[in-house]
Structure 1
Amino acid sequence: MAEITARGGGKVVFLGDYVDRGPQSREVLEALIAGPPPGQTWVCLKGNHEDMMVETITAPLEPDWWIGNGGAATVASYGGQIPLAHVRWADGLPLSHETRYRVFCHAGGDPTLDIADQTEKSLIWFRCKRDFDYGLDGKHVVHGHTPFKDGPVCLPNRTNLDTGAYATGRLSVAVFDDAEPGGPIDVFSVTLPTPPRAEGA
């Protein structure tokens, strides 16, 4: 966040997966819930890991589904008890954010569907091949979810920013010009000295 602030801030769209597989899930949620510093606007989108956490805690689901996919680290970061307020915050996150030229979502969406017809599953669980290029309703798609260690993957109509931070320690950010269509005008990565230990699949 310090790097983003140093570059001027503005609107920051977070693409989801704030929890799991790392030791600081609680700190991440607390920071996001606290809100942005002066001069910034934040849009926090839901990722599939928030979905797994919410579904496991609020529905009678088998907890191993979430725990085995990184949830154990999240529970540990809270000392064993996740506040209901944090669960409700995660549950209420929007699935997408649309601007004049772009649509932001966690997983990229189903290219066979219009934006209005996308489902929760397609917006937070969809997978696509690295070089498969597509937009949604003529808009550039910005997403994460499918990691590439040598990313980000920047295509003419789609930008995938997931560089597997939980395993690589590289968290990638793209800068867009809201007045112009297309992909990012700048991309940068922040690298942690020691990547978090990967947990789950």
Structure 2
Amino acid sequence: MIIIRIIVFLFIVLTSNLVNSQKKKIEAITIPTESHTVDIVVEQGTPRFHRKSDNHFLAGEHIFIKTKLNRDTDIANSYYPTAIRSIGLFKNGYKDGLWKTTYENKLVKTQNYNNGLVIGRYRVYNNNGDVLYKITFGSQGNGKYKDYYYNTGTLKEEGQYENGKKQGEWCRFDEEGTLIESIDYRKGVPIEKE
């Protein structure tokens, strides 16, 4: 019953935003229903986002909400306090400008983009607001990327950016710090292992 209420609420929000889109930025909340799913296409190593329902590239401000109800189910729902929310702008399907990520309603990450390419300042914080990692990728988008589990400070992901795109080996870790995935990239494109 609560899921139906949430979907109705989100439909009203999305509909009113589309009607008022001439006056302000379009705001959308992605939810895991067929009509609101966002797909990512990697074009020349740069992620580009589009709505699955109509295949239009995203534009304006969007809020992505993701939370885990259990280990097997992902639900995007703002009513869950542990939701991870990423808020930022899209331009023609590419992330653009400053993106902020919150966890348990606290700022945990800031990252900058230019037409989908990583650039500028990057910061990761824990739930207490302490800096876990900071780097400036500069205007060319070069440097070491690290992300963490915000409640424990354990390394979650690391890899290198070159010219704003993933390059070389990227590793993901579980909450205990055990390596769970390693992918090699060349100019933002995963390389098939032989």
TM-score (norm 1): 0.27
Q: Does 1 or 2 have the higher relative contact order (CA < 8 Å, sep 6+)?
A: 1
TM-score (norm 2): 0.28
Greater helix fraction, Structure 1 or Structure 2: 1
